[in-house]
Amino acid sequence: MDDRIDIRVYYEDTDCGGVVYYGKYLAFLERARTQYLENRGIKISELMLEGVWFVVADVHIRYHKPAKYADIITVHTEIAELSFASILFKHRIEHKETEALIATAEVKLATVGNDLRPKRMTEKMSKALKVI
């Protein structure tokens, strides 16, 4: 299932050329993933209290066209793969008005415990995410 979140590009998101700084896309993807999880009843703050943490294990981004100051972009998010201790998210970033493709990305998150070793997802998480 695909979730969407709209994000306005602010001046702080851009480089001296007025386009979104390449590293800022990671923050946009983080917002989209957090919203995806919360839409399914998974709250990061509750997981932290349970000793379950998400760490980024792998990131691949392909930039197709730059986003610019004042643009509104739409970040599409879906789960491509799910295992007992990892989630592979696929993202697609488009210009909201023109639907031009800006970037595509895959981000693999691993779940770890307080000791930073792999930890099985909670049953609640697994059930909430098994809609793929």
pLDDT digits (tens, 9 = 90+) for 49-98: 999 999 999 999 999 999 999 999 999 999 999 999 999 999 999 999 99
Quote the pTM value: 0.92
Q: What pLDDT does 118 receive?
A: 95
Task: For residue 68, count CB atoms less than 10 angstroms from its CB and return exposed for 0-12, middle for 13-18, buried for 19 or more.
Answer: middle
Q: Report the alpha-carbon distance of residue 69 to residue 88 in Å, rounded.
A: 29
Q: What pLDDT does 12 receive?
A: 97
Q: Report the alpha-carbon distance of residue 108 to residue 59 in Å, rounded.
A: 6
Q: What percent of the chain has pLDDT over 70?
A: 98
Q: Report the alpha-carbon distance of residue 106 to residue 92 in Å, rounded.
A: 9
Pick from 58, 59, 57: nearest CA to 112: 57
Tally of structural domains, the chain: 1
The CATH number given to whatever domain includes residue 8 is 3.10.129.10
Is the pLDDT assigned to residue 17 strictly greater than 80? yes
**Per-residue confidence band for 123, with pLDDT thresholds at 50, 70 and 90:** confident
**What tokens does 95 get?**
């210009």
Number of H helices, E strands in the chain: 3, 5
Query: Whole-number mean pLDDT of the chain?
Result: 95
Catalytic residue among 6, 15, 58, 115: 15
Is the pLDDT assigned to residue 132 strictly greater than 60? no
Q: What pLDDT does 1 receive?
A: 59
Q: What pLDDT does 131 receive?
A: 54
Task: Tell me the residue range of the domain where 77 lies.
Answer: 3-129
Q: Which amino acid is at 93?
A: I
**What tokens does 1 get?**
């299932």
15 as an active site residue: the answer is yes
CB under 8 A, 24+ apart: contacts of 32-36: 32/3, 32/5, 32/75, 32/76, 32/77, 32/91, 33/77, 33/89, 33/107, 33/109, 35/3, 35/5, 35/77, 36/3, 36/77, 36/79, 36/89
